[in-house]
């Protein structure tokens, strides 16, 4: 038996999903996931809608946002089937934070919903064409949440009172998942970062770039692509379950991010802590 070698694991296909991958609607089985953006739009019409040249995503102040949904990380544009769309609401992939209240709100916000990134993939069969995929990060999965929280905690403990820059990167996880010959065109879209600028007089480590850190988040990628109507319905229910509103004991961030409508702008300005300018 010692002389036998196990066969290498087959890479997953991007065109179908096996019947055993979605054994139930328990989202704890999902760490990361990938599916065509066009399929996601059809399965989640309440969370994403194409209107002209705009991809509408419910913002924090809209009623649909209270039903859950996704935290979309982007630079504001997404290319789908060769056409460029503007996003109505998203979290910028790079933000600046200047105080602990900003940091606390940002941390609670990015962990409150599953993360979503848009990527374009070239296939081995036809490298001249690109297909747009949605990459999902289940922030409620213990393994994924732990990597993000530990990354944020570790950098704080090592640069107390100083400025720093922290990036989270998912490129390696996606690269290992894709079949050979497939290439992510815009790999930088699979990352997000924040920069904490402390009011420190001598910030030598920050000035020389020694306070820059990158956390490569790893996890199993679940293939949510399917052409079967029965499996699509299962995937739809699975996504709805994953993006259900998160009930937290602390209501601080809920109060803060609900104060984004025009009718309550004055209340938002008078708050001791203010919302970081991460949203559009």
Residues 6+ apart with CB under 8 A from 122: 129, 130, 182, 183, 185
Give me 39's structure tokens.
């399929």
Torsion over CA of 36, 125, 17 and 227, rounded to 10 degrees? 70
User: Comparing 10-19, 133-142, 216-225, 234-243, which segment has the lowest mean pLDDT?
Assistant: 10-19
In tens, the pLDDT along 250-272 reads 433 333 333 222 233 333 333 33
For CA atoms 196, 199, 204, 208, give the dihedral sign: positive
Rounded to whole angstroms, how far apart are CA atoms 272 and 171? 37
Residue-wise pLDDT for 197-223, tens only, equals 876 555 555 555 556 889 999 999 999
What is the token pair recorded at 134?
Answer: 């949605």
| Percent of the chain topping pLDDT 90 | 46
Query: Each residue of 76-115: pLDDT tens digit?
Result: 999 998 899 999 999 999 999 988 899 999 999 999 999 9
The partner residues of 71 in beta bridges, in order of sequence, read 115
Q: Are strands 183-184 and 130-137 parallel, antiparallel or unpaired?
A: unpaired
Asked if 95 and 276 touch (Cβ cutoff 8 Å), the reply is: yes
- Which has the higher per-residue pLDDT, 59 or 227? 227
Tell me how far CA of residue 16 lies from CA of 174, 225, 245, 248, in angstroms: 17, 5, 29, 36
Number of helices (H), then strands (E), in the chain? 8, 15
Instruction: Provide the token pair at 179.
Output: 């079949």
**How confident is the model at residue 147, as a pLDDT?**
97
Residue range 30-53, pLDDT digits in tens: 899 999 999 999 999 888 989 999
Looking at residue 111, its pLDDT comes to: 94
Share of the chain above pLDDT 70, in %: 68
pLDDT given for residue 231 in this prediction: 87
């Amino acid at each position: 038996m010692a002389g036998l070698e196990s066969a290498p694991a087959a890479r997953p296909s991007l065109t179908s999903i096996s019947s055993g991958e979605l054994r139930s609607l328990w989202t704890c089985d999902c760490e990361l996931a990938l599916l065509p953006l066009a399929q996601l739009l059809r399965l989640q019409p309440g969370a994403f809608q194409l209107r002209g040249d705009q991809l509408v995503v419910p913002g924090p102040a809209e009623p649909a946002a209270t039903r859950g949904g996704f935290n979309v990380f982007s630079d504001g544009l997404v290319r789908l089937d060769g056409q460029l769309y503007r996003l109505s609401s998203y979290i910028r992939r790079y933000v600046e934070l200047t105080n602990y209240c900003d940091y606390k709100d940002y941390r609670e916000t990015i962990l409150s919903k599953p993360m979503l990134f848009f990527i374009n993939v070239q296939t081995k069969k036809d490298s001249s064409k690109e297909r747009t995929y949605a990459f999902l990060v289940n922030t409620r999965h213990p393994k994924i949440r732990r990597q993000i929280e530990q990354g944020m905690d570790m950098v704080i403990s090592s640069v107390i009172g100083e400025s720093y820059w922290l990036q989270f990167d998912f490129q390696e996880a996606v690269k290992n998942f894709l079949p050979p010959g497939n290439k992510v065109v815009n790999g930088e879209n699979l990352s997000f970062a924040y920069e904490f600028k402390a009011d420190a007089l001598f910030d030598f480590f920050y000035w020389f770039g020694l306070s820059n850190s990158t956390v490569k988040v790893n996890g199993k990628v679940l293939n949510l692509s399917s052409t079967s109507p029965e499996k699509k319905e299962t995937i739809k229910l699975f996504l709805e379950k994953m993006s259900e509103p998160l009930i937290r004991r602390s209501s601080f961030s809920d109060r803060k991010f609900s104060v984004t409508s025009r009718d309550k702008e004055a209340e938002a300005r008078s708050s001791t802590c203010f919302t970081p300018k991460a949203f559009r």
